[in-house]
Amino acid sequence: MASIREVAKLAGVSPATVSRVINGTANVDDEKKQRVLKVINETGFRPNELARALFKQSSKIIGVIVPNIENPFFSELAKAIEEEAYENGYKMLLCNSNNNEEKELMNIHMLNQLKADGLIMVTDSNNTIKNLEDNGFPVVLVDRKLSKINEIAIVESDNYSGGKIATKHLIECGCKNIVCMKGPQNISSAKQRYLGYQDICKEYGIKEQYIECGYSYDIGLIKAEELITKYPDVDGIIASNDMVAISVYKTLTQKGYNIPEYIQIIGFDNIKFSCLFTPEITTVAQPITKIGKKATQIIIQYRDGHNIERENIFDVELIERQTTKRKG
């Protein structure tokens, strides 16, 4: 592949002129510009992207750091971000942190060296975010809020309403012994969902019952066993997400429980698996694609100097399927 000096020689111009044509940093005589573009086309010359990024202080890269790419919520989120980035001339660089602060910081350092134009991040670590303040690129937090952080925006669903909707639906389905498999309470979205559950329990005079739970299929299997042992009379379960709802269904049916006749289950997120699974999972839907696209648009708009909304909260929606059944 030709170098910038070879292109300059073939076009009869200086390397600086070739650089100006490529980067659009200064006006170039149209006749010279056309000669340069003709040689670039004939030789298949490709500029050094890293060098351009260092020169322009922009790589057209949006970094994305998520806790667990195996979680379908995050893979669907990343897909939406990549598609929106591509439509706007940006690339996405996806990093998986496993909730490890050291990995988060390593990825942030890498993105800084690459002159990333922004970072979309899902984290529950205040320590990690504090280190971002010295890196100079804008940060959009998704799904989780942190305290005393200088992020430019937050994009999330109305998790509090989601907790209320899930609980109220099970009550309308005739459930009286509802157990909430609440997510980690150091995560703002999980905390808000549980608050919604608590408030509906108080409103309807229902006893609050819960199991601490994470978000993976494997932890769901373990916690489903704990739930049945601790609450043998349970007739309604609010899972921490759809993957946990699927693992709960598997555990209960293996023990002979009929779903939804004996116990009803509702998940959260509305990942694609929730309707591909049999039976299809009743869930509280987050607009995952809209969340990903919005976070990406915020980064791009911020880089272009536009005003942006700091708090961006999307409505959630009940999707009734086969793991719940209304009375009558």
Give 196-216 pLDDT, tens digit per residue.
999 999 999 999 999 999 999
* pLDDT at residue 88, as a whole number: 92
Cα dihedral 113/119/124/130 (nearest 10): 50
Q: Is the pTM of this model over 0.85?
A: no
The pLDDT value given to residue 48: 59
Residue 2 has pLDDT above 80, yes or no: no
The pair of three-digit structure tokens given for residue 41, joined into one six-digit string: 């086309």
- Check residue 29 and give its pLDDT: 83
Find out whether 180 and 197 touch, Cβ atoms under 8 Å.
Answer: yes
- Average pLDDT estimate for 147-153: 74
Contact (CB, 8 A) for 68 and 96: yes
Cα 198 to the center of its chain, rounded Å = 26
- Cβ(241)–Cβ(265) under 8 Å? no
pLDDT digit string (tens) for 96-143?
999 888 898 888 888 887 778 899 999 887 666 665 655 567 899 999
3-class secondary-structure state, position 327: coil
Tell me what the pLDDT averaged over the chain comes to. 89
Question: Quick check: do 57-158+288-315 and 159-286 share a fold?
Answer: yes
The domain ranges of the chain are 4-47, 57-158+288-315, 159-286
The residues with which 63 forms a beta bridge, in sequence order, are: 93, 119
Instruction: Name the 3-class secondary structure at 143.
Output: coil
**8 CB contacts (<8 Å, ≥6 apart)?**
14, 15, 17, 18, 36
Q: Which residue has the higher pLDDT, 164 or 54?
A: 164
Q: Three-class SS of residue 278?
A: coil
Percentage of the chain lying above the pLDDT 70 cut: 89
Q: Which CATH architecture does the domain made up of 57-158+288-315 adopt? A: 3-Layer(aba) Sandwich (3.40)
Question: Exposed/middle/buried for 152, CB within 10 Å: 0-12, 13-18, 19+?
Answer: middle
Which token pair is 186? 């150091």
pLDDT surpasses 80 at 25: no
Question: Is the pLDDT confidence value at 260 over 70?
Answer: yes
Residue 313 burial (C-beta neighbours within 10 Å; 0-12, 13-18, 19+) = middle
50, pLDDT greater than 60 = no
- Where do the H-state alpha helices sit in the chain? 4-11, 15-23, 30-43, 49-56, 72-87, 101-113, 126-130, 159-172, 188-204, 217-230, 242-254, 273-276, 288-303
Query: What is the second-level CATH architecture of the domain 4-47?
Result: Orthogonal Bundle (1.10)
* Residue 5 pLDDT class (50, 70, 90 cuts): confident
Q: Tell me how far apart the alpha carbons of residues 213 and 31 are, in angstroms, rounded to a whole number.
A: 67
Give, as one character, the DSSP assignment of residue 131.
G
Q: Which pLDDT tens digit goes with each residue over 55-111?
A: 455 578 899 999 999 999 999 999 999 999 999 989 999 999 998 888 988 888 888
pLDDT at 54: 47
pLDDT over 90, % of the chain: 65
State the fold for domain 159-286. Answer: Rossmann fold (3.40.50)
From CA 104, how far away is CA 126, in angstroms rounded? 11
Q: Count other C-beta atoms under 10 Å from residue 306's C-beta.
A: 10
